[in-house]
Every structure is written in C-alpha cells, then in structure tokens.
Structure 1
C-alpha cells in the first residue's frame, strides 16, 4: 500500500475523480466521510470558471456530502484572487466569461466595464454566449497594455455531440489578434494549486494533488511542488502512463483505493 504518512492535506479535482458527467463515482461519500472524520483538510479545485462554489456545494449536497464554499476553488475565483496581488482594489476589468467568473471578480473588489477604455486587465473564461464585439473590445484593451489573463487553457469543451471550442480557443483567437500570450491561472499552471495550499496552511510538499488528467492535474501539482495522485476513473488510462513524461507519485484505480491508503497512513 502507498505510504501517505507525510501527507497533511489534499487538493482534489472534481470531474473524473468525484463524478463523471452527471454520475457520482463509487466511494465518493465514504471518501469525504473519512476526510471529515479524521479532520484531514482539503480543497476542491477545478479549472471550470463557469461553475460557482455555491453550485458545486449544491451538487455535493445532493450526493449526501456537505462542504463549505471556502473549500471550493474554481479557476474564476483563483483568477480574481491573483489579480488582487497585481492590481489595486477598484481597478477596471474587462471580462469575457459566464456569471460565476464575473461574480468572483466583483466580490474581489474590481469594477467590470463594457468597453476597452481604461481597462487594467482582461480576464477570459469560457463564455458560451461570447460575441465578436466582446473579442474586439478585449483585443483593443490588450493592445493598449491591459494584463491578459486566462482562467484555463482547455482548447475544447465536451458536449453530448462531441468536442466544441473551449476557453483555450477564445484565448488563441485573442493571442493571434494581439501577439500577446495570456497568463494562465488554472491547471497545469501552478497558481490554482498554490492558492489552495496557502488556504490549507501547509507546505506544498505535504499536500497531495488528486486528479484524473496527467497533463493538467498531475503536471499542475508537480509545478506547484506538491505530491500527486492519479485516479484512473477519468481521462487518463493506465496504459498511457508508460509513454508519458509526466509521472504521478501515486496511482489509484479509484477513490475507494485512495480511501484505504489514507485510512492506513494518515493520522494513525
């Protein structure tokens, strides 16, 4: 059994780890019961800027799991927190994104504007209603020196009929128009994980990043200096490990296997 004795906190992905599509994955309730009974601190961290912490909480509650919104870190909330280290409160922001991203920016003390004039930063998250006019205003702001942030780099977005353009496609269009690369906040960059570790008040090397994708969850955790655990109930399959340069510290078939490892080694 993997030795997790040095792990003090967990940063956990959502889709592919806790659920797949609309279906909860086996062992998710028992997993959270263990974390809460043993008082193992955790943060749920997602690249999805279109999901609010409140929405994630409600979904977990329907599964019989109770967490606080403070234990949920979306790439939208992380982007807003990152901007607080770069800009003064009240700075003007141009945002392309759905309501949860805009709410996070306002709650962080920023002012949202509808045009490019006087904009200090452009923040781009997935927006399924985005228009050419929005892209034009964002491009103009970036060209005049506004900070260019992307919540996550996911080029595609899965729907029932297949893959459609995701946030990375919007970022690519703006980069092509401006010649400016966006600063990415979500995985696989370390910012999201580092914010989670700071909230957990632990050191990165004592925190475990749990996810189902090598190229985002695992790579992001490694860049943040964390230990990493791949769960094989999502995107990455075991046969892909042999050919990948990204290697997790631990591999678990599913949440029940991770739960058993935690039971054996954390806080015994």
Structure 2
C-alpha cells in the first residue's frame, strides 16, 4: 500500500499544535518527519517571531529547518501592505519588533503612534499588546488607514493549554472600529499562496491541527490536507465541520505520514456500517481499531447530515467513545 507522504512532493507544516506546544515538541513529531524525502516548509500564522528565530527554535527541538523554508504571516502581511501603499509610507505596527522588521524589509516605515500619520495598520500576535497600542491602532483605522491582520486565530496552543491568540485582539479593534481587516494568514489564501510559490511544489500536502485555519486554508488554494489531533481541533469539531473545513486525512499523530494513505483517508474505513435515522447517526459494528478510525468513518455521514443531534451505537464501547466526543 502507498505510504501517505509519498504521494506529495512538499509538506506544508503548521507549527503551534502540530509540531510543538509552547516551548516543547509534541512527542514523536521529529521522528515522524525525518522518515521521508519530501521538502518540509513551515507555514505559521504566528507573526511574533522572525523566520530565523522560528528556524532556530525548530532546529533546537530537533527538526530539519533552514530560514528560507519558514513562511510566516508577518512576511505575507508585509507583502500585502507593500502592494497597497506607497513606498516609505508610515505603518502603525501592533505586534513585535519581528513584525516591524518585515514592514521595513518591504520599504515601509514602522511606527507606534497615530501622531506619526500612518496610512496603514498591521496587527500580529504579541504577548505585550495592551490597551495603549490598540488605542493608537483604533484611531488610525477610524481615520481611514488600511488594516492588515496577520491572522485571526482566536486562541494559541501552549504547554498550559489554549491562550489568547491574535484574533482575540483583532476582535477588540473590529468591535471598536466596525471595520474588517484584510487577512494575510490561514485560512485566507495569501499565506498559503506564498508558501506554494516559495516551495515550487507540484503536489503539496497541508498538515495542521486546526480545521478553521490549516484545513480551511488548504481548501482556499484547493490542495489536500491532513488534520492531526494534537492541538486545537477535536473530534466534535470534525463531526460539525462545514464543507470548507473537511480534511482529506485525519490522524492521531504525525506518524500517519509514514503509514499507508488508506489508513488515514476520511471515509475509507469499512469496520462499521453508519447511517442516519431522523436526528440520529446510527453506528453498527464493534469497536475495532482506534478511536480515530471510528472518527474517519463517522465524519462523512455526519457531514451529510449536519443537523444530527445524537449518535446511537449497537456496541457499548463505540457508544462510550462517541459520547465522550459529544459530551
């Protein structure tokens, strides 16, 4: 049987929740990635660090990385700005110095105050974002400045659990200005298009832990995707996912890349007979294999019947698993 990764020439890998959580690698990820010849590109919505810092962190954690294979939303956000405002224009930066450096690299002038007459605002994740800088950005946006958000992730995985992401700070400015930003990162297409262009790939695979960014981002540029259940998205999220968030493959860990593709492909598992009856999904068959196998089999039927309310199983162990997902 064909190994999953062998069908692709490039893996476009998410970072937070896929390769690591906070400062620590997710167990087994380094080994899983090291078993193939595909080019690895690291595509991250997190705009808080420079590509070189991200690459150094990956190397410290045992991943094979070089700077030019790191594609960040800060780079894409800066490109979007440069395409829309005049060279040398002032851009108010809500984010880290790494984001400000990307603004400088495209020939624009980063500032931190509305008094410097910015024509645009760029916003990326920073743990130091506070009311003061959000107020400066609010004034600029309300005065007509172009607003570019690096990403809209409301949460960010850490070793302690989910914490505030850039999208939560974007939501504050959206509420205060009634303006929608131009978005650089996943699930919007600009970041994914930059990754595709830089990698020069012909058959890429997106790998990530979030349906609403990684998988939807893959849909935005019409390429295959693998959802790993090591980060944000849960089995319940999978069962309730809208069309634009349906992954090609689902796996518990990244080691699925080195296993036969059919073992991770959604809808190929025939261990169970699954149907719909009224508002219930009905699963017939014993609990064979792991829970992710059951999820891959159940998901297509759930997607066809998005209004389902319950899952009824003939086997007690299957019922226990689906009850734990839907609790």
Q: Contact 2:226–2:247 (CA<8 Å) still a contact in 1?
A: yes
Q: Contact 1:229–1:252 (CA<8 Å) still a contact in 2?
A: yes
Q: Following TM superposition, by how much is the alpha carbon of 1:64 offset from its aligned partner in structure 2, in angstroms?
A: 3.0
Q: Following TM superposition, by how much is the alpha carbon of 1:122 offset from its aligned partner in structure 2, in angstroms?
A: 0.2
Residue 91 of structure 2 corresponds to: 93
Q: Following TM superposition, by how much is the alpha carbon of 1:188 offset from its aligned partner in structure 2, in angstroms?
A: 1.6
Q: Contact 1:26–1:256 (CA<8 Å) still a contact in 2?
A: no
Residue 213 of structure 1 corresponds to: 210
Rounded to whole Å, the distance in 2 between the matches of 1:57 and 1:257 is 24
Rounded to whole Å, the distance in 2 between the matches of 1:233 and 1:210 is 11
Residue 121 of structure 2 corresponds to: 122
> What pairs with 1:99-118 in structure 2 (closer than 5 Å)?
99-116=97-114, 117-118=116-117
Q: Contact 1:89–1:109 (CA<8 Å) still a contact in 2?
A: yes
Distance 1:26 1:171, change over 3 A: closer
Whether 2:65 is the aligned partner of 1:67: answer yes
Q: Contact 1:45–1:196 (CA<8 Å) still a contact in 2?
A: yes
Rounded to whole Å, the distance in 2 between the matches of 1:88 and 1:188 is 27
Number of aligned pairs? 257
Which one is further off, 141-150 or 151-160?
151-160
Two-structure CA RMSD over aligned residues (Å)? 2.5
TM-score w.r.t. length of structure 2 = 0.70
SS of equivalent residue, structure 1 residue 229: strand
Q: Following TM superposition, by how much is the alpha carbon of 1:217 offset from its aligned partner in structure 2, in angstroms?
A: 0.8
Rounded to whole Å, the distance in 2 between the matches of 1:21 and 1:171 is 22
Q: Contact 1:26–1:255 (CA<8 Å) still a contact in 2?
A: no
Residue 177 of structure 1 corresponds to: 176
Structure number with greater Rg is 2
TM-score w.r.t. length of structure 1 = 0.84
Rounded to whole Å, the distance in 2 between the matches of 1:161 and 1:56 is 20
Distance 1:166 1:61, change over 3 A: closer
Which one is further off, 84-93 or 3-12?
3-12
Q: Contact 2:92–2:111 (CA<8 Å) still a contact in 1?
A: yes
Rounded to whole Å, the distance in 1 between the matches of 2:15 and 2:93 is 25
